[in-house]
Amino acid sequence: MPASLGLSKDSSLTSWLDWQEKLHSKEIDLGLERVRGVYQDLSKLGSANKIFTISVAGTNGKGSCVALLESILLAAGYSVGCYTTPHILSYNERVRVNGEAVPDSDLVTSFELINHVRKETSLSYFEFGTLAALEIFKQKQVDVQILEVGLGGRLDAVNIVDADAALVSSIDIDHIDWLGDDRSQIAVEKAGIFRAKQKAVCGDMNCPDSLVDVARSLKTDLLMAGVDYSVQVGDKNWLLASDKFLAFAGEYPLPSLKGEHQIHNAAAVINLLAHTNSLLPVTKADIVKGLGAANLAGRLQLINGSPTVLIDVAHNPQAARVLAHHISNELEFDNIYAVFSVLNDKELGGVITPLADIVKRWYIAPVESVRSQSLENISKTIADHSLARCFKFKSIYEAFDQARTDADKNDLIVCFGSFLVVEACLGGL
Burial class of residue 394, CB neighbours in 10 A (0-12, 13-18, 19+): exposed
Would you state the pLDDT for residue 47?
67
Residue 288: CB atoms within 10 A of its CB come to 15
281 plus 333 within the same structural domain: no
255: which DSSP letter?
P
Strands (E), 128-249: 144-148, 165-168, 199-202, 221-224, 230-233, 237-241
**What is the pTM (predicted TM-score) of this model?**
0.93
State the pairing for strand pair 100-101/144-148.
Answer: unpaired
Would you state the pLDDT for residue 341?
98
* pLDDT per residue as tens digits for the range 187-209: 999 999 999 999 999 999 999 99
245 plus 317 within the same structural domain: no
Alpha-carbon gap, residue 332 to 71, rounded angstroms: 31
280 plus 326 within the same structural domain: no
416 plus 278 within the same structural domain: no
Would you state the pLDDT for residue 151?
80
Residue 5, domain member (yes or no): no
Q: Which of 35, 41, 39, 43 is nearest to 123 (CA)?
A: 35
SS3 category, 222: strand
Burial letters 265-276, b for 16+ CB under 10 A, else e: bbbbbbbbbbbb
The residue among 260, 292, 324 that closes a domain is 292
Q: What is the DSSP string of 308-338?
A: EEEE----SHHHHHHHHHHHHHH---S-EEE
Contact 80, 146 (CB under 8 A): yes
Q: How many distinct structural domains can be found in the chain?
A: 2
Strands (E), 150-249: 165-168, 199-202, 221-224, 230-233, 237-241
Cβ-Cβ contacts under 8 Å for 299 (sequence gap 6 or more): 63, 64, 257, 258, 259, 262, 312, 313
315 plus 172 within the same structural domain: no
Residue 357, domain member (yes or no): yes
Q: How many CA atoms lie less than 13 Å away from 66 in the CB half-sphere?
A: 30
Alpha-carbon gap, residue 175 to 312, rounded angstroms: 18
Q: Which domain holds residue 404?
A: 301-428
340 plus 244 within the same structural domain: no
286 plus 323 within the same structural domain: no
The residue among 231, 265, 292 that closes a domain is 292
229 plus 327 within the same structural domain: no
Ranges of residues in the chain whose predicted pLDDT is under 70: 1-6, 25, 27-30, 47, 173-181
Q: For the domain that residue 51 is a member of, what is the CATH number?
A: 3.40.1190.10
252 plus 272 within the same structural domain: yes
SS3 category, 106: helix
226 φ, ψ to 5°?
85, -10
Q: Which of 186, 384, 165, 391 is nearest to 282 (CA)?
A: 165
Residue 3, domain member (yes or no): no
Q: Which of 113, 82, 75, 111 is nearest to 97 (CA)?
A: 82
Verify cis geometry, omega within 30 degrees of 0, for the bond prior to 307: yes
139 plus 281 within the same structural domain: yes
Residue 188, domain member (yes or no): yes
Q: At what angle do helices 125-140 and 13-23 cross, to 10 degrees?
A: 130
Amino acid type, 337: Y
Geometric angle at alpha carbon 64, from 378 and 222, rounded to 5°: 110
Q: For the domain that residue 392 is a member of, what is the CATH number?
A: 3.90.190.20
Alpha-carbon gap, residue 40 to 21, rounded angstroms: 23
Would you state the pLDDT for residue 345?
86
255 plus 375 within the same structural domain: no
Would you state the pLDDT for residue 1?
45
Residue 385, domain member (yes or no): yes
Alpha-carbon gap, residue 202 to 55, rounded angstroms: 12
Would you state the pLDDT for residue 361?
98
Residue 376, domain member (yes or no): yes
Alpha-carbon gap, residue 192 to 57, rounded angstroms: 9
Residue 2, domain member (yes or no): no
Residue 92, domain member (yes or no): yes
The residue among 244, 273, 292 that closes a domain is 292
Order of strands across the sheet with 250-253?
230-233, 237-241, 250-253
Alpha-carbon gap, residue 290 to 265, rounded angstroms: 13
72 plus 132 within the same structural domain: yes
Geometric angle at alpha carbon 124, from 44 and 48, rounded to 5°: 20
